[in-house]
Structure 1
Amino acid sequence: MKLTYDQENFYLDNKKITILSGAIHYFRVVPEYWEDRLKKLKACGFNTVETYMPWNLHEEVENEYNFSGMLDIERFLKIAKELGLYAIVRPGPYICAEWEFGGFPAWLLKDSDMKLRCHYAPYEEKVRKYFHEVMTRLRPHLLENGGNIIMMQVENEYGSYGNDKDYLRAIEQMYHDEQMNVCLFTSDGDDDSMLNGGTLPHLLKIVNFGSNSERNFNNLLKVQPDAPLMCGEFWNGWFDHWGEEHHVREADDTAKEFDAILNRNGSINFYMFHGGTNFNFYNGANYYDDYAPTVTSYDYHCLLNENGDRTKKYYACQDVIRQHGFEIPELDCIDQPKKTYGKITLDKAVPLFKCLEQLSQKVSLPYVLPMEKLDQNFGYILYRTHLTGPYQPRELNIHGLHDRATVYLDGKYVGVVERNQPHEKIMIGVEKGQTIQLDIFVENMGRVNYGPELYDRKGITKAVCLGLQELHHWEMYPLPMKELTSITYKDGQCYHEPAFYQGTFEIDECQDTFIYLDHFNKGHVYINGFNLGRYWKKGPQRSLYIPAPLLKQGLNKIEIFEIHQCDDLSVELKDTPDLG
């Protein structure tokens, strides 16, 4: 059995089907909650789940593959199948998704000559090797092999980026080489350049939009009059960048557009049905006029909120499905209980500069290098040099800063420099006979996931100068901060420099909760060793989601890395989130 179609309809086993799909990214949800989220998708009246696959997690280190735990897509697909859900899988290699580097692994950027998303043999060979690992695992889950995958995508919204048909043909051929007998499709925006550049004549084309379905579908029909209509990404909400307001879309507006799509006999994939969370350092960034990193929450203001609760939008869309005569199954669904655990004191702390050697292996070179050249994917990097006078005062210029630097002279904070943002001049002078230590601590705030700035190497990508004079002889400390077990903490106090803080708390039962860091400025948080993601006082997000499976009965540990300073050694765990 395979998904087929004629001019107006999709068919499974010669029976007409309207694809009612919702996006849930397994890698943004703890595995213990996969069944809950998928069951709510089914209970809303949907018949299909759609997911991307992030290359940068499945192959974080080149030639080392991970399909376990939170990355066990086969288990995710099996749960969906047991619930009677079909699946649409989009393995990339590029996924966008407001995800770090659009899903590409950072090690691709170690090669200065690397060309992405085009017919460039060294790049395509790496895609081919990754795809072989992916397809070997997905092939048993194709519908014709007894699984539930009915559709797979060739690349992803390629017309928004390029027009290399040889590249698209190469990606399609990889599917055929791996014997993936499945309905292949491309998805793009509705304008002529996107639909012309992003697809191949013989492939099914679907269109992505959040409104104006009449216009979008009519434009699709101009290039594909002989296939059914489908919205591949129905943007029923939106994502947030740091410093923006939280995005909201009313339930009635979403339901009205959904109804219009079904009235055109259209199939649909909600992007998102459940957004989840950009745990760890996995948020992406946009770059239009300025660099704009995405926040930790991927709530997306969609049908299930970040912690999996059904929203007004869920019930409004369920009503639309019911009104169009589709079955609404009766399933026992619950929204997870939430709990306030109260204030927690952080009674241990240590400054970053006191534990550099425990966390990092120093690299000494005459020049600076970006993270990728040092085999570093995520986190932070410290650049250190020493200046012996005399130097008359000159402005510090960090050329190719990606993304945010805090600067210290002899351990004292002197300022912040942010990528492509105005900042106060940092002037440095050194008296004759004096030697000073210059530290530049750089945060990778998320690689660009969309647009021409995709080649987004991190750290300092060019040079550091005083005035026009380039500074040399650097010590570089890569700080990916995958885990903090090597740190030796001391008694807690508030530091006015980058520092780690630790506290513990005991609980009798594990329930979802939200951590508030009102006394902190910028950094990231671990719960029992799991990196929850970033916080930043500028908002809009004020709390981080802690799923209950990350907690344990008895003693729990919180660790915070704060870049600037805190004014109180406490955090608070509440039963409600604040996304702004």
Structure 2
Amino acid sequence: MPLLQIDGGGFTLDGQPFRLLSGGMHYFRTHPEQWADRLRKARLMGLNTVETYVPWNLHQPRPDSFSLDGGLDLPRFLDLAAAEGLHVLLRPGPYICAEWEGGGLPSWLLAEPDIRLRSRDPRFLAAVDDYFDRLLTPLQPYLASRGGPVLAVQVENEYGAYGDDTAYLEHIAASLRRSGADVPLFTCDQPADLERGALPGVLATANFGSRSGDGLAALRAHQPKGPLMCTEFWIGWFDRWGTHHVVRDPGHAARELDELLSTGASVNFYMFHGGTNFGFTNGANDKHTYRPTVTSYDYDSPLDEAGDPTEKFTAFRDVIAKYASVPDASVPPPGPKLARRTVSLTESAALLPQAAVFGTAVEAHRPLTMEELEQDFGFVLYETSLPLKGSALLEIEQVRDRAQVFVDGQPVGVLERENHEHALAFTVPRAGSTLTVLVENQGRVNYGTGIHDRKGLLGKVLLDGAELAGWTSRPLPLSDLEGLPFTPAAAAPVGPAFHRGVFDVTDPADTFLHLDGWTKGNAWVNGFALGRYWSRGPQRSLYVPAPVLRPGTNEVVVLELHAAHRARTAELRPTPDLGPTEE
């Protein structure tokens, strides 16, 4: 692969003028057996480059553990990009935002009670240095300087929206260099944050989704010479629970792209293919009110969540063709889908009585946080005894993020961080009754100072003004459902429960799991965690990638936290429902 060069006039590649026509595709949001398909479609739209973040929290789930295999096989993804003739922009963080859980920062950092993330805190910098060494050492053959597809590497991510410590950015850049990143480095920031987030001697780029002329003018004012590039050209947006599905008119987005490319600038679409926040990986925002992101990361992209071209694919390819050669090929057709079918979930297993299947209870004076339990995702189950019977007022200093409260196994209420709820009144039937609190981590905050987002019950827990002590804290990561004793059940159990059903497939194909009539929870197909569902919407279906299915019998498991569908059925349909759009 030729080397990317940066000079006063712009980008050159192998000595020739070069424009980056790139699109975002996060390998960790796409099933690995579908990477090649998505990359081929990027080339067919006219792109010459793909961009991806790297999620530190998935690759290094514990300080002494690092993975580059399975769905995290980044070397394989880079090989497939190269085989398709695509260059790569690599954005390893350490912080990535991306509407991803914790902005990609591993939860174990927060086990340090006073750590300062994205700063020169020596504990944070030591962890970053170790991460870069583990990540980039095996990736060195994939750098363009060694014949690989990676043209450039990003330093941090929109740091100007968070801080203004140039020495911190210098450390990140030096750490990348020490770990072998000898290709060009770059930063990205929104136009108003360029001064705070830039690093002298490193290419600055800008992020925006409209008014390209203004954004590029701000970039040129900050950086009088060199290439102009929009690293995040926002052609869609993400959704959060409780609002509408965000879309952007394809014609309007195409006109904005035309304006951008007419200046000679380079571009990276955010996103070309958004993908899915599988499992528990969605992030959240907290600008005085906590707002978790939905499971789908469709992003209203040129390729939808299932990898099918949308109107934007054609509209953008037509614009790109005005400025660069595009492959002489028709727009790829939608992929095959399963025919519609209903799945009966005939077996059940109550969660609370089976909690020991998932984790060991830890005794302590107070409730322990997820981070203290060395837990990344999922739920924590807290229990203690109530000293007196009668009317009681429970007060919890901080709920992170959603607590279901039970007394002797019976539900008595819910406290939601999103609604700033801290207190709940109920009646205790007897002295010595068991108080059970099931807390869901709905996604660590991924933007702003709220990234210091510890999960569980934080602070004091009071009953009628007196602090409750003598707790057990049981981690429920739900990373493996093996061992659950499912039994046929005529009626759904009271309280949170898993429900299981099977269906047959002849030829596996993409499908969407619809859970109409269910309330809130998570779903798995053949042990693969699809993500969260919630009746509040907007999202009302979960994407099931074809590679998750197998010929013959397949299994669906639904964890319903509240009220199961009366008939305990789910539907597989060939089309998604991402919710109503704003009129």
TM-score, with length taken from structure 2: 0.96
What is the aligned partner in structure 1 of residue 440 from structure 2? 443
Give the drift of 1:8: 3.4
What is the aligned partner in structure 1 of residue 228 from structure 2? 229
Give the drift of 1:259: 0.4
Q: Deviations over 1:423-465 (max 9, x none)?
A: 595224557x732111111100000000111100001111211
What is the aligned partner in structure 2 of residue 99 from structure 1? 100
Aligned equivalents of 1:531 and 1:405: distance in 2? 22
Aligned equivalents of 1:138 and 1:16: distance in 2? 27
What is the aligned partner in structure 2 of residue 568 from structure 1? 567
Q: Does 1:469 align with 2:466?
A: yes
Q: Does 1:83 align with 2:84?
A: yes
Question: Any residues of structure 2 matched to 1:475-554 within 5 Å, and which?
Answer: 475-492=472-489, 493-554=491-552
Q: Report if aligned partners of 1:55, 1:103 keep a CA contact under 8 Å in 2.
A: yes
Aligned equivalents of 1:427 and 1:181: distance in 2? 61
User: Which of 281-290 and 414-423 deviates more?
Assistant: 414-423
Q: Report if aligned partners of 1:388, 1:430 keep a CA contact under 8 Å in 2.
A: no
Give the drift of 1:490: 1.3
User: Aligned pair count?
Assistant: 576
Give the drift of 1:341: 4.1
Q: Deviations over 1:387-436 (max 9, x none)?
A: 1226x6342111111000111111111111000415595224557x7321
Q: Deviations over 1:463-494 (max 9, x none)?
A: 21124321111121110000111111111332
What is the aligned partner in structure 2 of residue 397 from structure 1? 395
Aligned equivalents of 2:70 and 2:432: distance in 1? 50
Give the drift of 1:177: 1.2
- Corresponding letter in the other structure for 2:569: S
Give the drift of 1:496: 3.1
What is the aligned partner in structure 1 of residue 341 from structure 2? 342
- Corresponding letter in the other structure for 2:411: Y
SS in 2 for 1:169: helix
What is the aligned partner in structure 2 of residue 263 from structure 1? 262
User: Which of 508-517 and 6-15 deviates more?
Assistant: 6-15
What is the aligned partner in structure 2 of residue 457 from structure 1? 454
- Corresponding letter in the other structure for 1:153: Q
Aligned equivalents of 1:166 and 1:374: distance in 2? 33
Question: Any residues of structure 2 matched to 1:52-71 within 5 Å, and which?
Answer: 52-71=53-72
What is the aligned partner in structure 2 of residue 18 from structure 1? 19
What is the aligned partner in structure 2 of residue 183 from structure 1? 184
Aligned equivalents of 2:420 and 2:110: distance in 1? 28
Q: Report if aligned partners of 1:36, 1:333 keep a CA contact under 8 Å in 2.
A: no
Aligned equivalents of 2:322 and 2:271: distance in 1? 22
Aligned equivalents of 2:376 and 2:79: distance in 1? 31
What is the aligned partner in structure 1 of residue 279 from structure 2? 280
Give the drift of 1:326: 2.7
- Corresponding letter in the other structure for 1:70: G
Unaligned 5+ runs, structure 2:
none
Alignment RMSD: 1.5
Q: Report if aligned partners of 1:359, 1:487 keep a CA contact under 8 Å in 2.
A: no
Give the drift of 1:196: 1.6
Q: Deviations over 1:522-570 (max 9, x none)?
A: 1000100111100000000000000110000001011111111212211
Q: Deviations over 1:218-272 (max 9, x none)?
A: 1111110111110010000000000010000010011001001111111000000
- Corresponding letter in the other structure for 2:334: D
- Corresponding letter in the other structure for 1:455: H
CA spacing shift, 1:210–1:419, aligned 2, 3 Å: same
SS in 2 for 1:150: strand
Aligned equivalents of 2:341 and 2:422: distance in 1? 39
Unaligned 5+ runs, structure 1:
none
Aligned equivalents of 1:157 and 1:496: distance in 2? 46
What is the aligned partner in structure 2 of residue 174 from structure 1? 175
User: Which of 357-366 and 86-95 deviates more?
Assistant: 357-366
Q: Report if aligned partners of 1:248, 1:301 keep a CA contact under 8 Å in 2.
A: yes
- Corresponding letter in the other structure for 1:481: L
What is the aligned partner in structure 1 of residue 318 from structure 2? 319
User: Which of 496-505 and 535-544 deviates more?
Assistant: 496-505
Aligned equivalents of 2:395 and 2:224: distance in 1? 56
Aligned equivalents of 1:327 and 1:389: distance in 2? 74
SS in 1 for 2:175: helix
Q: Does 1:383 align with 2:382?
A: yes
Aligned equivalents of 1:180 and 1:423: distance in 2? 47
Aligned equivalents of 2:122 and 2:328: distance in 1? 49
Q: Report if aligned partners of 2:396, 2:422 keep a CA contact under 8 Å in 1.
A: no
Give the drift of 1:69: 1.0
Aligned equivalents of 1:122 and 1:475: distance in 2? 29
Q: Report if aligned partners of 1:428, 1:466 keep a CA contact under 8 Å in 2.
A: no
What is the aligned partner in structure 1 of residue 142 from structure 2? 141
What is the aligned partner in structure 2 of residue 41 from structure 1? 42
Give the drift of 1:497: 0.5
Aligned equivalents of 2:506 and 2:495: distance in 1? 35
Aligned equivalents of 2:422 and 2:269: distance in 1? 44
Give the drift of 1:334: 4.2
Give the drift of 1:329: 4.5
Q: Deviations over 1:30-77 (max 9, x none)?
A: 111111100000000010000000001101122211100111111111
Q: Report if aligned partners of 1:382, 1:440 keep a CA contact under 8 Å in 2.
A: yes
Of the three residues 416, 419, 423, the one matched with 1:418 is 416
Aligned equivalents of 1:420 and 1:345: distance in 2? 33
Q: Report if aligned partners of 2:44, 2:326 keep a CA contact under 8 Å in 1.
A: no
Q: Does 1:359 align with 2:358?
A: yes
SS in 2 for 1:388: coil
- Corresponding letter in the other structure for 1:554: G
Aligned equivalents of 1:359 and 1:42: distance in 2? 44
CA spacing shift, 1:424–1:148, aligned 2, 3 Å: closer
SS in 2 for 1:101: helix
- Corresponding letter in the other structure for 1:500: F
SS in 2 for 1:339: coil
Aligned equivalents of 1:395 and 1:423: distance in 2? 13
Give the drift of 1:350: 1.4
Q: Report if aligned partners of 2:366, 2:469 keep a CA contact under 8 Å in 1.
A: yes
What is the aligned partner in structure 2 of residue 195 from structure 1? 194
Aligned equivalents of 2:328 and 2:132: distance in 1? 36
Deviant stretches of 4+, over 6 Å = none
Q: Report if aligned partners of 1:45, 1:329 keep a CA contact under 8 Å in 2.
A: no
- Corresponding letter in the other structure for 2:79: K
User: Which of 468-477 and 153-162 deviates more?
Assistant: 468-477
Q: Report if aligned partners of 2:206, 2:231 keep a CA contact under 8 Å in 1.
A: yes
SS in 2 for 1:202: coil
Give the drift of 1:324: 2.2
SS in 1 for 2:451: coil
CA spacing shift, 1:365–1:348, aligned 2, 3 Å: same
CA spacing shift, 1:117–1:438, aligned 2, 3 Å: same
Q: Report if aligned partners of 2:137, 2:180 keep a CA contact under 8 Å in 1.
A: no
- Corresponding letter in the other structure for 1:222: A
Q: Report if aligned partners of 2:399, 2:422 keep a CA contact under 8 Å in 1.
A: no
Aligned equivalents of 1:444 and 1:59: distance in 2? 19
Aligned equivalents of 1:430 and 1:295: distance in 2? 36
Q: Report if aligned partners of 2:49, 2:87 keep a CA contact under 8 Å in 1.
A: yes
Identity of aligned residues (%): 44
Aligned equivalents of 1:380 and 1:434: distance in 2? 27
What is the aligned partner in structure 2 of residue 151 from structure 1? 152
SS in 2 for 1:258: helix
